[in-house]
Amino acid sequence: MSIIDKLSSGMNEAGNTITQKAKDISEQTRLTGEIAKNKARREEEIKKLGEAYYQARRKNEPENLEESVHEIELIDGILEKLTESLCRLKGIILCGQCGSEVPKGSLFCPSCGAQIKQPSVIRCGKCGAQLDAGSRFCIQCGTKIE
Ligand SMILES: [Zn+2]
Ligand SMILES: [Zn+2]
């Protein structure tokens, strides 16, 4: 391989890393936006729930809050998934106690000292690679995770 070839292949590799980084960053931005949107929606639903409860109590009617509660549960589920994806992308976990961002692999939170619950891992059925729970494809062999 000539020096020129070496140089240009090295440059391509750097280019690929930068492209992947840019992708990660735009994905992070997208997830952060989605999280903010869903948090706003949740706040809105909580307000509605409070208002409906208050009105029912005031009129002495039985309160019917099932629908609202169900809606908030759905939003909570979405928020949990979005937060999980964002954390995986950033290589961090959130402290269950104080919510601080903690580097992956930490055993204790540097902010509050709480013990960090380790994210559950799953194994690829084909090659046995260890994967983050929620992975959709194996990072070693590309098999779809059921
Ligand atoms: Zn903490
Ligand atoms: Zn695999």
96 CA to centre of ligand 1 in angstroms: 7
pLDDT tens column, 13-41: 666 777 888 888 899 999 999 999 999 99
User: Tokens 């055993």 — which residue?
Assistant: 107
131 CA to centre of ligand 1 in angstroms: 25
86 CA to centre of ligand 1 in angstroms: 18
Residue 136 DSSP one-character state = S
Ligand found nearest the CA of 143: 2
Whether the CB-CB separation of 82 and 38 falls below 8 Å is answered with yes
Domain ranges of the chain: 3-90, 103-146
The predicted structure's pLDDT at residue 22? 86
| Chain centre distance of CA 90 | 9
Query: In angstroms, rounded to a whole number, what is the distance separating the alpha carbons of residues 25 and 11?
Result: 21
pLDDT tens column, 44-90: 999 999 999 999 999 999 888 999 999 999 999 999 999 988 998 88
Query: Is the model's pTM score more than 0.95?
Result: no
Ligand found nearest the CA of 101: 1
The predicted structure's pLDDT at residue 7? 60
User: Tokens 């009129």 — which residue?
Assistant: 59
